[in-house]
Amino acid sequence: MELDRKEAGFVGLGLMGAPMAANLLTAGWAVTGWNRSAAALDTLVALGGTRAASVDALRDTPVIIFMLPDLAQIEDSAAGLLASWSAAPPAPGTAVVVMSSVSPAAVQDFGARVATASGGNAVVVDAPVSGGTQGAADGTLAIMAGAEDGDFQRLLPLFDALGSTVRRLGPLGSGSLAKACNQLIVGTTTAALAEAAELAERSGMDVAALYDVLSGGLAGSRVLDLVGPRIAAKDYEPTGPAKFMHKDLSFVLESAAAVQAAVPMADAGVRLYAELKRQGLGERDLAVVRQTISNLSDHPTDKPGSSQQVRTSEL
């Protein structure tokens, strides 16, 4: 069953959400947005979108997309919406699409609450993305969906307007688990590149030249291509806050514990990015993990594993 109309609500018009909403408009979707700051809504309206007075006002929209930092914020913003649906259920087939990086287990619980509140008329689909702000602007995101196949097929035209690689990984929660795996690779690879940069520079080597030769060998990767230049230049202007990597890697640990999988790289990554936050660098770009490692080099007693280590459980 296809969607009756190309209309979408969009909650969260930040660094990723704003260009994604703009791409939906370009693809012919009618987009009604809600955001805490008015400036982002002004931009959406200037592009042809509509301003929602509240999240609750989106209750009759066939698709409602959430692009907020974490599930707790999504649940808070959707509380009135669910209350409205409890009083008067939405049309059958209404879709709530969570495109943020969230806990695989928690999004399944959220899906159950939405189903109950809507009398079974609304379904949650988790469809987190990868590709950064550039991918969001270019409409080339990788979209990892967790949904029943019928729901995924109905939403495919929407996903195709936002990304160039779109896959259904399984039922609800599968998309978030895939994103956690993605972040495991991105977070630890970025950290390894940062370590290599500090080691090379402190040894008198040119980091940009090192990265150039590495890119031609087995160490070459999209992370090296996209994040490497920022690490080499010590350019930490945010394309997305580094603090979210700590959250995302924590989801890896949560998921691994549920199936008794060993994840030593994720464990080390969680400790490192917790240290990044402790150093007050969480609002900077992910490349700032190089500064975290540099600070640890200059103050060895602060290294993860030392007596001054900040424990993951305390963050």
Q: At a CB cut-off of 8 Å and minimum separation 6, what does 249 contact?
A: 180, 183, 184, 187, 266, 269, 270, 273
| 179 included as an active-site residue | yes
Give the DSSP letter of residue 309.
Answer: P
Q: How many CA atoms does the CB half-sphere of 242 hold within 13 Å?
A: 33
Q: Which residue of the set 179, 243, 247, 277 is catalytic?
A: 179
CA distance between the termini of the chain: 45
Q: 185: Cβ–Cβ under 8 A, 6 or more apart, which residues?
A: 223
What count of residues does the chain have?
315
Q: Tokens in use for 267?
A: 């464990």
Residues 6+ apart with CB under 8 A from 244: 69, 101
> In 3-state terms, what secondary structure has residue 21?
helix
CA distance 120 to 132: 34
Q: How many whole angstroms separate alpha carbon 92 and alpha carbon 59?
A: 12
State the Cα torsion 250-256-258-261 to the nearest 10°.
-160
- Radius of gyration of the chain, Cα coordinates, nearest whole angstrom: 21
> C-alpha dihedral over 197, 202, 206, 212, to 10 degrees?
-20
Q: List strand residue ranges (DSSP E) for the chain, in order.
A: 7-11, 30-34, 50-51, 63-66, 94-98, 122-126, 129-130, 141-146, 163-170
Using an 8 Å Cβ cutoff, are 120 and 112 in contact?
no
Kindly list the catalytic residues: 179
